């Protein structure tokens, strides 16, 4: 029972920006799983990704006319988790966890909504 509660808790992700979740992108680009902070060249531009234990975030620089999204995975005291949804924003997006949860990797998405 406690494992189910923990898994549900991580799915209830805290958004760090304007969120456009649940609307599928008509066309998007994606990075692989990345474990550190740094720059990505994606879809003809650049994004900066930040990964901390409790948060992940991606910000585009300079601004594109497309949306940016993130999705994370990590560990908690009972095992591993992967957030099943992409959190989207117009110039940046993020996800957060709390308690014994910690992000270990993230994917960055760029696309149209």
Short-list 19, 31, 27, 30, CA closest to 113:
27
Local confidence pLDDT in tens for the 113 residues of the chain: 445 444 444 444 444 333 444 445 456 789 999 999 999 988 888 889 999 999 999 998 776 678 899 999 999 999 999 999 999 998 899 999 999 999 999 999 988 76
Q: Which residues contact 51 (CB under 8 A, 6 or more apart)?
A: 34, 35, 36, 37, 72, 103, 105, 106
pTM for the whole structure: 0.75
Domain residue spans of the chain:
2-111
CA torsion sign, 75 to 36 to 63 to 41?
negative
- pLDDT for the residue 23: 44
Rounded Cα–Cα distance for residues 8 and 67 (Å)? 27
Q: What is the pLDDT of residue 19?
A: 43
Helices (H), 1-113: 2-11
Nearest alpha-carbon partner for 82 in 105, 54, 108:
105
């Amino acid at each position: 029972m406690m494992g189910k509660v923990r898994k549900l808790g991580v799915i209830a992700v805290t958004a760090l920006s304007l969120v456009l979740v649940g609307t599928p992108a008509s066309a998007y680009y994606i990075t692989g799983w990345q474990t550190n902070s740094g720059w990505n060249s994606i879809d003809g531009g650049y994004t900066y990704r930040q990964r901390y234990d409790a948060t992940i975030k991606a910000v585009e620089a300079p601004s594109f006319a497309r949306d940016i999204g993130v999705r994370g995975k990590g560990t908690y005291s009972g095992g591993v988790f992967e957030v099943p949804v992409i959190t989207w924003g117009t110039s940046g997006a993020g996800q957060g966890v709390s308690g014994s949860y910690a992000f270990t990797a993230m994917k960055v998405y760029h696309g149209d909504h």
